[in-house]
Amino acid sequence: MGEAAGLSVWCEDEAGPYQTKPYPGGSWQPDGHPVHQPHEYSRDGTAKQLTLLHPASGRVCVKGVQHTTNAIVHAWLKEQLLAILADLPPVVPRPAYWERVIWETWREGLQRVVTLPRQLPPLRLLLIMDNLVGHKNPDWLLWCFRQGILPLYTPLGGSWLNMAESIQHVFKQRALDGQYPTSPQQIIQSLEAVAAHWNRHPTPFVWAGKRKARRDRAALRRHRLAASGAATARPSRRRFLSRCPWQPGH
């Protein structure tokens, strides 16, 4: 919906921690030479994954880290978001009162809203984030507002609404399944390598939640008509179960 309104929509999330241990799963091996995993292993640290996903194109920005403090996460997000904003089309000038209306429209229905600055730039990007305290840091929010970015938080217990969760699951499987990383740096390199390969031919993401399923079921009950996108709830022509007496052959 945001993309259709001329806004860039991105999802942010952090995944992990991933341990230095053998991971179950299949892997490519020569025929007759299966991979051997040790029955004992040492814990030599963990790694985490920072992710930015653009669902409309499938493009991702990924960085492997060992710690996800606010300073690390926000510094990386600022760098990536500035690069994303630089690639967006220029903004068409609009009256100041209209800009505020646009910002407030995207906040309708929220239980808790942050006070917006008096002067607002054009809204350019929606950032979907988990409902964590660190993501509501005042300095971080003010920086986002100045750039024309509106953070929107998933409800408590509703992290599944963040599509970045899905891409992180895919990357974890491709990077770690069947492997035995022995250092956090090895995990980081595997995750970032998978992300770089993904971006060569990204797959767009579409929403398929419960509302989408209800709309699909309703669409199957409709009867489409020719020459346009119109549809009817009932067939437009009656179907005769038998031939009428006046038809040929009777």
Rounded CA separation 236/108 (Å): 40
Q: What is the pLDDT of residue 236?
A: 44
Domain-embedded: residue 248: no
Rounded CA separation 9/56 (Å): 8
> The whole model's pTM is what?
0.77
For residues 125 and 148, the answer to whether their CB atoms sit within 8 Å is: yes
Domain-embedded: residue 152: yes
Q: What is the CATH number of the domain that holds 34?
A: 3.30.420.10
Instruction: State the total domains in the chain.
Output: 1
Mean pLDDT, 10 residues at a time, the chain of 250 residues: 74 93 81 77 89 94 94 95 94 83 87 85 93 87 95 79 88 90 94 96 79 62 53 51 48
Domain-embedded: residue 66: yes
Q: What is the pLDDT of residue 60?
A: 95
Burial per residue of 69-99, b for 16 or more beta-carbon CB atoms within 10 angstroms, e otherwise = eeebbbebbeebbeebeeeeeeeeeeeeeeb
Question: Which one-letter amino acid corresponds to residue 206?
Answer: V
Which of 123, 127, 106, 107 lies closest to 12, judged by CA?
Answer: 127
Domain-embedded: residue 242: no
SS3 state at 210: helix
Q: What is the pLDDT of residue 216?
A: 64
CB count in 10 Å sphere of residue 6:
14
Structural domain containing residue 44: 8-200
Domain-embedded: residue 194: yes
Q: What is the pLDDT of residue 207?
A: 73
